[in-house]
């Protein structure tokens, strides 16, 4: 590979620093401790470089070579749109047609990303909003559905967790409804609410509801009886018992449920946008596919990933505020 | 009538086989005077913790009941505070918040400043000054139980219920906290009902020791008066002539699996009918 040819010293140096080659070279000095040493960032950067280079090389196409082709053939190809003729009379592959030939390389995606980010805040038309708007739409759609589902699920979950009989009575419904893909609800929701905007939010809602509901009920139900005993001896009122003891006590379990709901809702929001044609990052991926712009599709996938990471880190910060160690 | 009376209390649990009930203890009557420190010792499964929970109102007796100051106990209340074996501190609250939760409940009319002053007083009493903002996870077992004691004493309950309070604390720390408990109790003189496995702890702390026979169908087999004058310290009581007499008597009782009551041992045991426990005093 080119990396080995061009920069063998640096590559070896990076790998040695990252602890990848250390074992064989320094076996005599350093005993095997079973603990990996090194900087994970270096390994990450190394892997990214290898991946990008591999991607680049795998999607590289040689420049158009007119050798062995007659003038008629070239004219025919130009007429067909396969090649274009520059002002100086040389031929090159038609860049428009190149877009849908094979998978685009990293440079094409980078160019597309530049273009999209450059007009991130521009609305070109009803269905052509800049990427910043699309992210905003997706995040707010996700936020509305997830928050509503969380409130409903936590309130219901607390009631079910506090009342074993009620929990047993309702549990069969939860068990049946939980495994249903939120997207399966979509036609019914669309038919009943008759509005794609609300349908998309409701799909996120359905995706986020069940995991939080089930784990909240479980967390409240399995809260250590001692805490409730203390609350009972101290004669705490129902409300005080709820927000001083039950909710904080069950918080780690509830957070786990919210985390599962969070992932499930994030997975649901993309196909919901695709199917409903609601503007957003999921929609972007689909519309670029309709445009046969594969670089755009890859860019959209990357944006979905970035939005996920953003939302996830925000969630983790919130979660850290309410968890405790036993 | 006694200050606190457990009156012909019995407890049954449904048996594992589903046929009939298992009797944990039957017809237990204990009379406790105001300001008295009474300890129950017995093997695991004799229902002594259940008995404590019944006094606390956290469990109900299958038959009989508990009377405090002439009124029957129904449900838990601030007049009977428990110190739990596993501390039962809220792990999401700091030391201060744990005690303040109790103080605010006991004295709902107090201003935040009054509550804070009261909490800080009890934190100082158990020597936890400087640890107010720590959470229970950051504390050792001994420190956790100091918080538990501070929480219990801070609401100044009529009856203090100690459920094997030092069982999860290492032996060296245990002795120190026992003496701290004595000091706090000397100042407050609550009526105390303690459950323990530790004979030395029972002798050090109690006015009377109740020995329970083995379950099922356990009952109070003997009542031993601890005839060692107060104030007591761990160092001094072992010099007292009654210390080993009492200790040996209790251990004999426990080793004999408590099946035969009132025979053997060194004390002047007197039988008082079938269900009446023998009163043992040393002189």
Report pLDDT for A32.
58
**Structure confidence at residue A78 (pLDDT):** 84
Which chain B residues contact residue A248 at CB under 8 A? 90, 92-93
Residue A138 has pLDDT above 50, yes or no: yes
Asked whether the predicted pLDDT for residue B273 surpasses 60, the reply is no
Q: For the segment A245-254, what is each residue's pLDDT rounded down to a tens digit?
A: 999 999 989 9
Which tens digits make up the pLDDT trace of A111-123?
889 988 888 788 8
Interface touch A234/B88, C-beta < 8 Å: no
Instruction: Provide the ipTM.
Output: 0.87
Residues of A in contact with B137 (CB under 8 A): 324-326
Question: What number is the average pLDDT over the span A36-56?
Answer: 90
* Residue of A107 and B259 predicted with greater confidence: A107
Q: CB burial class (10 A; 0-12, 13-18, 19+) of residue B18? A: exposed
Q: Which residue has tokens 């100690």?
A: B162
Q: Flag whether pLDDT at A310 surpasses 50.
A: yes
- B100/chain A closest Cα distance in angstroms: 11
Task: Specify the pLDDT at position B36.
Answer: 94
- pLDDT digit string, tens, across residues B144-156: 999 999 999 999 9
Closest residue in chain B to residue A237, using alpha carbons only: B105
Which residues in chain B are contacts of A234 at CB distance < 8 A?
A: 78, 101-102, 105-106, 155
B197-245 per-position pLDDT tens digit: 899 999 999 999 999 888 788 888 889 999 898 888 888 888 999 999 9
Q: What percentage of chain B's residues is helix, strand, coil (to nearest 5)?
A: 35, 25, 40
Give me the residue from B58, B88, B105 closest to A227, CB to CB. B88
Chain B CB contacts of A232 under 8 Å are: 57-58, 75-76
Q: In b/e form, how buried is each residue of B95-131, taking b as 16+ CB within 10 angstroms?
A: bbbbbbbbbbbbbeeeeeeebeebbeebbebbebeeb
**Cα nearest neighbour of B86 on chain A:** A226
Q: What is the pLDDT of residues B84-126, one digit of tens each?
A: 999 999 999 999 999 999 999 999 999 999 999 999 999 999 9
Q: Quick one: pLDDT band at residue A3, thresholds 50, 70, 90?
A: very low
Q: Is the pLDDT of residue B271 over 80?
A: no
- Residues A183-228 have pLDDT tens digits of 999 999 999 999 988 999 999 999 999 999 999 999 999 998 899 9
- The whole-number pLDDT of residue B265 equals 41
B 82-111 residues inside an 8 A Cβ radius of A:
82, 84, 86, 88, 90-93, 101-102, 105-106
Q: Is B222 in contact with B258 (CB distance < 8 Å)?
A: no
Measured in angstroms, the CA of A227 and the nearest CA of chain B are apart by 6
Q: To the nearest whole percent, how much of chain B has pLDDT over 90?
A: 58
Question: Is A233 close to B77, i.e. CB distance below 8 A?
Answer: yes
pLDDT score of A28: 52
pLDDT of A99: 66
Lowest mean pLDDT among A67-71, A172-176, A261-265, B140-144: A67-71
Positive or negative, the CA dihedral B214, B27, B225, B83 is positive
How far apart are alpha carbons B123 and A192 in whole angstroms? 61
- Residue B266 clears pLDDT 60, i.e. is over it: no
Best to test chain A binding among B53, B88, B97 (most A CBs inside 10 Å): B88
User: Which structure tokens are listed for B60?
Assistant: 């109900």
Would you call B60 an interface residue with chain A, using a CB distance cutoff of 8 Å?
Answer: no
Model pLDDT for residues A13-29, shown as the tens digit of each residue: 555 455 444 444 444 55
pLDDT higher than 80, residue A296? yes
**CB spacing of B137 vs A229 below 8 angstroms:** no
Residue B14 confidence class, pLDDT cut points 50, 70, 90? confident
SS (H, E, C) chain A: CHHHHHCHHHHHHHHHHCCCCHHHHCCCCCCCCCCCCCCHHHHHHHHHHHHHHHHHHHCCCCCCCCCCCCHHHHHHHHHHCCEEECCCCCEEECHHHHCCCCCCCHHHHHHHHHHHHHCCCCEEECCEECHHHHHHHHHHHHHHHHHHHHHHHHHHHHHHHHCHHHHHHHHHHHHHHCCCCHHHHHHHHHHHHCCHHHHHHHHHHHHHHHHHHHHHHHHHHCCCHHHHHHHHHCCCCHHHHHHHHHHHHHHHHHHHHHHHHHHHHHHHHHHHHHHHCCCCHHHHHHHHHHCCCHHHHHHHHHHHHHHHHHHHHHHHHHHHHHCCCC
Is B28 strand, coil or helix? Answer: strand
**Is the pLDDT assigned to residue B262 strictly greater than 60?**
no
Interface residue B68 vs chain A (CB under 8 A): no
Rounded CA separation A135/A158 (Å): 33
- Give the residue-averaged pLDDT of A57-79: 82
pLDDT of residue B259: 53
- Range of weakest confidence among A77-86, A98-107, B219-228: A98-107
A318 has a pLDDT exceeding 60: yes
Evaluate if residue A4 carries a pLDDT over 50.
Answer: no
* Interchain CB distance below 8 Å, A326 and B84: no
Please give the Cα distance from A11 to B46 (Å, whole number). 72
* Contact call for B137 and A230, based on CB within 8 A: no
How confident is the model over B43-82, as pLDDT tens digits?
A: 887 888 999 999 999 999 999 999 999 899 999 999 999 9
More confident residue, A127 or A187: A187
> Is the model's pLDDT at A314 over the cut of 70?
yes
Kindly report the nearest CA distance between residue A235 and chain B, in angstroms. 6
Residue A152 has a pLDDT of 96
pLDDT-derived band at A8 (thresholds 50, 70, 90) equals: very low
For residue A37, pLDDT over 80 is answered with: no
Considering only alpha carbons, which residue of chain A is nearest residue B77?
A233
Nearest to A234 among B58, B75, B101 (CB): B101
| Residue A225 to chain B, least CA–CA distance (Å) | 9
**CB spacing of B88 vs A229 below 8 angstroms:** yes
Distance from CA of B264 to the nearest CA of A (A): 40
* B80 has a chain A CB within 8 A of its CB: yes
- Whole-model pTM? 0.75
Task: Verify whether the Cβ–Cβ distance A226 to B86 is below 8 Å.
Answer: yes
Q: Is B22 in CB contact (< 8 Å) with chain A?
A: no
Higher pLDDT, B275 or A285: A285
CB contact under 8 A, A235 and B92: no
Integer Cα distance of A63 and B65 in angstroms: 96
CB B206 within 8 A of CB B194: yes
Short-list A177, A206, A208, CA closest to A192: A206
Question: Chain B: residue nearest A321 by CA?
Answer: B92
Q: Is the per-residue pLDDT at A236 higher than 90?
A: yes
Those residues of chain A whose CB sits closer than 8 Å to some CB in chain B are: 224, 226-227, 229-230, 232-236, 244-245, 248-249, 251, 324-326
- Burial annotation A72-101 (CB, 10 A radius, 16+ → b, else e): eebeebeeeebbbeeeeeebebbeeeebee
Mean local confidence (pLDDT), A149-154: 95
Q: Give yes or no for residue A89 having a pLDDT over 80.
A: no
Residue A7 has pLDDT above 80, yes or no: no
């Amino acid at each position: 590979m080119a990396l080995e040819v061009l920069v063998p010293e640096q590559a070896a140096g990076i790998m040695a620093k990252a602890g990848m080659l250390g074992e064989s070279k320094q076996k005599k000095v350093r005993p095997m401790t079973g603990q990996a040493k090194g900087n994970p960032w270096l390994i990450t950067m190394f892997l990214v470089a290898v991946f990008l280079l591999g991607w680049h090389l795998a999607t590289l196409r040689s420049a158009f070579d007119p050798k062995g082709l007659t003038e008629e053939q070239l004219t025919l190809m130009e007429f067909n749109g396969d090649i274009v003729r520059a002002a100086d009379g040389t031929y090159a592959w038609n860049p428009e047609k190149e877009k849908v030939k094979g998978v685009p390389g990293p440079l094409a995606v980078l160019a597309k990303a530049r273009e999209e980010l450059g007009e991130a805040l521009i609305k070109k038309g009803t269905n052509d909003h800049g990427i910043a708007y699309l992210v905003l739409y997706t995040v707010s759609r996700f936020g509305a559905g997830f928050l509503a589902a969380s409130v409903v699920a936590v309130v219901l979950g607390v009631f079910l967790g506090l009342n074993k009989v009620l929990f047993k009575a309702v549990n069969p419904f939860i068990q049946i409804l939980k495994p249903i893909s939120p997207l399966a609800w979509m036609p019914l929701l669309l038919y009943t609410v008759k509005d794609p905007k609300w349908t998309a939010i409701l799909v996120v809602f359905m995706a986020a509801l069940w995991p939080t509901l089930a784990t909240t009920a479980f967390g409240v139900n399995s809260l250590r009886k001692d805490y409730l005993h203390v609350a009972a001896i101290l004669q705490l009122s129902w409300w005080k018992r709820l927000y001083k003891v039950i909710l904080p006590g069950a918080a780690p379990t509830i957070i786990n449920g919210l985390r599962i709901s969070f992932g499930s809702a994030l997975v649901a929001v993309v196909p919901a946008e695709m199917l409903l044609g609601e503007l957003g990052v999921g929609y972007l991926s689909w519309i670029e596919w309709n445009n046969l712009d594969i670089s755009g599709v890859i860019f959209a996938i990357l944006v979905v990933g970035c939005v996920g990471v953003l939302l996830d880190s925000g969630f983790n910060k919130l979660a850290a505020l309410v968890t405790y160690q036993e | 009538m006694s200050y606190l009376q457990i009156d012909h209390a019995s407890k049954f649990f449904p048996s594992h086989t589903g046929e009939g009930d298992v009797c944990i203890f039957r017809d237990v009557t204990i009379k406790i005077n105001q300001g008295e420190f009474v300890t129950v010792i017995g093997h695991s499964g004799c229902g002594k913790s259940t008995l404590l929970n019944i006094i606390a109102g956290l469990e109900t007796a299958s038959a009989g009941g508990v009377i405090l100051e002439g009124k029957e106990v129904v449900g838990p209340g601030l007049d009977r505070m428990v110190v739990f074996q596993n501390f039962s501190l809220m792990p999401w609250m700091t030391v201060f918040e744990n005690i303040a939760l109790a103080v605010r409940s006991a004295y709902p009319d107090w201003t935040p400043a009054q509550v804070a002053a009261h909490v800080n007083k009890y934190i100082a009493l158990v020597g936890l000054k400087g640890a107010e903002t720590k959470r229970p996870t950051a504390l050792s077992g001994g420190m956790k139980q100091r918080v538990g004691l501070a929480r219990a004493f801070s609401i100044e309950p009529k009856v203090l219920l100690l459920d094997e309070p030092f069982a999860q604390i290492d032996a060296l720390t245990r002795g120190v906290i026992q003496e701290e408990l004595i000091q706090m109790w000397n100042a407050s003189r609550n009526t105390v009902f303690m459950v323990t496995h530790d004979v030395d702890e029972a002798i050090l702390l109690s006015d009377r020791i109740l020995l329970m026979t083995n379950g099922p169908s356990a009952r109070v087999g003997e009542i031993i008066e601890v005839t060692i004058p107060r104030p007591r310290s761990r160092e001094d009581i072992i010099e007292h002539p009654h210390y080993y007499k009492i200790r040996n008597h209790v251990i004999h009782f426990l080793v004999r699996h408590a099946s035969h009551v009132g025979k053997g041992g060194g004390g002047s045991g007197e039988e008082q009918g079938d269900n009446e426990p023998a009163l043992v005093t040393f002189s």
